[in-house]
Copies of this chain bind each other. A is one copy, B any other.
Amino acid sequence: MEILKERICRDGVAIGTEILKVDSFLNHQIDAALFEKIGEEFASRFSDVAPQVNKIVTIEASGIAVAAFVARYFDYPPVVFAKKDLPNTMTDAYYFSEIMSFTKMKMAPIRIAKKYLNEGDKVLIIDDFLAHGQAAIGLLNLIEQAGAELLGIGIVIEKAFQGGGKKLRDRNVRVESLAVIERIEDGTILFA
């Protein structure tokens, strides 16, 4: 997605060889106009499975707005976001998994209430980043626990050099990434 790559080049900040900061438009400050175009692009990439998708799954926090904008271009399927905390309003049974967050350097539990993910659901996962694949694999785990079917994963920015995309594609999961970064070198972002 050309305008996304241009935006990453213009406003993204590469730190060392691992970290790409895009908090000026994606995960701290949000550009809703760009999110609309991102939603439209995912709808186009997944147009072949659009009639089947009945649920979009993501994870708090930065994935939520992206996923909600994607829903606009499908037929407004429910968007379910996995929670990392356990609020006192989460009184129902839930699916549970645990993932490593490399940006926060800690293990984090993730949960989806059982009533919002059902056997037979046809699910699209949407998230802002794919790095080591922890979030995506954790969500896939919840989807498998529910007996639902994953139709594909839509990612805004994939950092290919951290291997998450390869892990998923090796499991025959369809991954559509709008911008794929091959590596980060001396503060320069190199796209695949």
Contacts and interface: CB of A to CB of B under 8 A. Distances in A.
Interface of A: 15, 19, 21, 23-24, 27-33, 35-36, 60-62, 64-65, 67-69, 71-72, 76, 78-81, 83, 85-91, 103-105, 112-113, 115-116
A87 B103 contact: yes
B71 A68 contact: no
A104 B84 CA distance: 12
B88 A30 contact: no
A62 B124 CA distance: 20
A30 B68 contact: yes
A19 B88 contact: yes
A121 B166 CA distance: 43
Contacts of A103: 87-89
A19 B68 contact: no
A54 B94 CA distance: 40
A98 to B, nearest CB: 16
Nearest to A20: B89
A29 B80 contact: yes
B116 A29 contact: yes
20 contacts: A21-B89, A21-B91, A23-B89, A23-B90, A28-B81, A28-B83, A28-B90, A28-B112, A29-B80, A29-B116, A30-B71, A30-B78, A30-B79, A32-B76, A61-B81, A62-B64, A65-B65, A65-B68, A65-B79, A88-B103
Contacts of A62: 64
Nearest to A116: B29
A21 B81 CA distance: 15
Contacts of A19: 88-89
